[in-house]
Amino acid sequence: MYVEGSEAYADYRQQLLPWDQCVPRLPAYCQALQFAPTATEFVAALRERLRAVAQRVDAASPANTALSIAEDGTPHLKRLPAQPVPDDLATLEASVDRKVYSQPSGRNTAVTGGRRRSIA
């Protein structure tokens, strides 16, 4: 991601701690994030989370008619039909345009369909 003007700020890499200063802080950091404290336990926890997600996906797959798996194991997603446009979408867009894109100068602009335009 590029943030215009970000080069005017400090280089984060110069603010990183050396690893030997990080090591004593790891237990508290891992505890605060609810991470396992060792690499082996961390990997085991990730594998367990992956297994649990895979199990949920497998359980839901018979009902998922948009997904098919080829004989070689390649997954394929079918294109879903478009949902109808809600009747009040234009009203919602106009409301968002007025509230979000109002500029301090008093001139109101909005981005609709990728184009910037003035609104009343």
With respect to residue 29, please indicate whether it lies within any of the assigned structural domains.
Answer: yes
Instruction: Calculate Rg over the CA atoms of the chain.
Output: 25
Residues 60 and 20 placed together within one structural domain of the fold: yes
Q: What is the pLDDT, as a whole number, of residue 45?
A: 96
Q: What is the pLDDT, as a whole number, of residue 106?
A: 47
User: Of 20-24, 25-29, 61-65, 106-110, which range is least confident?
Assistant: 106-110
- What pTM value is reported for the model? 0.45
With respect to residue 98, please indicate whether it lies within any of the assigned structural domains.
Answer: yes
Determine the structural domain holding residue 60 and report its residue range.
Answer: 13-69
The total number of structural domains in the chain stands at: 2
Bigger pLDDT: 88 or 104? 88
With respect to residue 2, please indicate whether it lies within any of the assigned structural domains.
Answer: no
Highest mean pLDDT among 20-34, 50-64, 74-88: 20-34
Residues 64 and 93 placed together within one structural domain of the fold: no
Q: What is the mean pLDDT of residues 50-58?
A: 91
Are the beta carbons of 109 and 103 closer than 8 angstroms? yes
